[in-house]
Amino acid sequence: MLTITDVRKSFDAQVVLDGIDLTIAAGEIVCFLGPSGCGKTTLLRIIAGLEQADAGRVVCQGQDLAHVPVHTRNFGLMFQDFALFPHRSVGQNIAFGLRMAGADRATIAARVAEMLDLIDLPAGYANRTIFELSGGERQRVALARSLAPNPRLLMLDEPLGNLDRALRETLMVELRRIIKQVGVTAIYVTHDQEEAYAVADRIVIMNRGHIEQIGPPQEVYTAPATAFVARFLGFENLLPATFDGEHGQWQTPLGPVTLPAAAAPEAGRTCALLIHPQAATLHAVPVAGALPATLVAHSFRGDHVEVTVAVTGPDGAPGSPVTLRLDIPTYAFLQTQRDHPHGLQPESQLFVELDAGLMRMVEGDGGIKRLRGWEIERLRD
């Protein structure tokens, strides 16, 4: 449906997009996710026609968009501030694109009623003013206005950014339902990982004008491709790892680690070992395969307890002990606390069993943080 080939853009001497290649299928919701300044909004604006690329092509349904004006692309646009017309009613706002396209009154009235039903607002809302709406209702009206002209591509730039957390969590699910019900192809820009997980069919994670990883939400979460992706998604447990070709293992501060791989990497190759926060089981007494650790801190988070531990690797393992942040299910933590002879308090001694199935080797390091007792050099740019 949409093909982006080698798109490049600079502002003065600053490279914002550096050779972006991406294909989006019809009916797909693709989320551009990344920190501020990564290029995601610039890429959206180039696709929309609001910015001109320095190089590359954007093709939609076989049409090269290089010289196609914004108003003839038939793209729906929805921004963070909604940009609703305050002097017009809800119905008039929804009908705006249809009026611009020259639709007759009967068509407009029918489409406005259809859109109100789609966004789950009563028909009587058509006559309300924008000031009579809540933030969530305004967001829905803005979405309805974008969808009313039946666009071939819907583009949303931080659409939930001005809403409180509880409302965002509700509306991100509603957004996906509505977009999927209509069947429109959509590009969704956000810096919020939870929004991307909830809304997208595929996530495109961007960093400094490059694409770091593309994949379904579950794949991106469970198997980050790079250390940057892992850190951006909130994973803190990244350890330096070097491949030992003689023994087929990765040498880490927690000792040798064997992970399944499609092909053995080159001997001496250095990467980063990602340990998911759910990868650990705590034990009050020694267990085969568990590593000794000291409890640094713990914080109750409802369904889980966030635990920080200093884990000691085998004798002679450089960089040990290592500080890990783990998410332990609340009832499992309470059970360990009951089993421990002195309860679990800071400086308590315990044992950490790690599940190799929840560990991943990722490319690069992106500037791994300081680990206890060992300053890690950058492994790879």
Q: What is the pLDDT of residue 365?
A: 56
Sorted by where each begins, the domain ranges of the chain are 2-222, 236-362
Asked if pLDDT for residue 321 goes beyond 60, the answer is: yes
CATH architecture of the domain 2-222 equals: 3-Layer(aba) Sandwich (3.40)
Write down the residue that tokens 């004008």 correspond to.
209
Write down the residue that tokens 């049409």 correspond to.
63
Q: Of all helices (H) and strands (E), which one includes residue 27?
A: none
Instruction: Provide the pLDDT confidence category of residue 350 given band limits of 50, 70 and 90.
Output: very high
Domain 236-362 belongs in CATH node 3.40.50.2020: no
Instruction: Provide the pLDDT confidence category of residue 370 given band limits of 50, 70 and 90.
Output: very low
Asked if pLDDT for residue 85 goes beyond 60, the answer is: yes
Q: Of all helices (H) and strands (E), which one includes residue 315?
A: none
Q: What is the pLDDT of residue 269?
A: 72
Nearest to 194 by CA among 166, 225, 214: 166
Asked if pLDDT for residue 369 goes beyond 50, the answer is: no
DSSP 201: S
Asked if pLDDT for residue 380 goes beyond 70, the answer is: no
Q: Of all helices (H) and strands (E), which one includes residue 4?
A: strand 2-11
Q: What 3-state class would DSSP assign to 206?
A: strand
DSSP 229-250: HHHHTT---EEEEEEETTTTEE
Asked if pLDDT for residue 266 goes beyond 70, the answer is: no
Taking phi over 0 as left and psi of -120 to 50 as alpha, with beta for the rest, 120 belongs to left
Q: Which residues of 168-178 are buried (b: 16+ CB within 10 A; e: fewer)?
A: beebbebbbeb
Nearest to 132 by CA among 182, 180, 195, 89: 89
Mean pLDDT of 136-153: 92
Mean pLDDT of 96-111: 92
Q: Of all helices (H) and strands (E), which one includes residue 144?
A: helix 135-147
DSSP 156: E
Write down the residue that tokens 């998911």 correspond to.
276
Amino acid at site 194? E
- Contacts of residue 376, Cβ cutoff 8 Å, sequence gap at least 6: 240, 319, 365, 368, 369, 370
Q: How many CB atoms lie within 10 A of CB 131?
A: 7
Bridge partner residues of 146 (DSSP): none
Whether cis (ω within 30° of 0) applies to the bond prior to 292 is: no
- Contacts of residue 170, Cβ cutoff 8 Å, sequence gap at least 6: 136
Instruction: Provide the pLDDT confidence category of residue 373 given band limits of 50, 70 and 90.
Output: very low
Q: Which of 120-129, 193-202, 338-347 has the lowest mean pLDDT?
A: 338-347
Mean pLDDT of 71-100: 89
Mean pLDDT of 103-127: 93
Instruction: Provide the pLDDT confidence category of residue 217 given band limits of 50, 70 and 90.
Output: very high
Q: Which residues of 196-210 are buried (b: 16+ CB within 10 A; e: fewer)?
A: bbbbbbbbbbbbebb
* Tens of pLDDT, residues 15-67: 999 999 999 999 999 999 999 999 999 999 999 999 999 999 999 999 999 99
Mean pLDDT of 314-336: 83
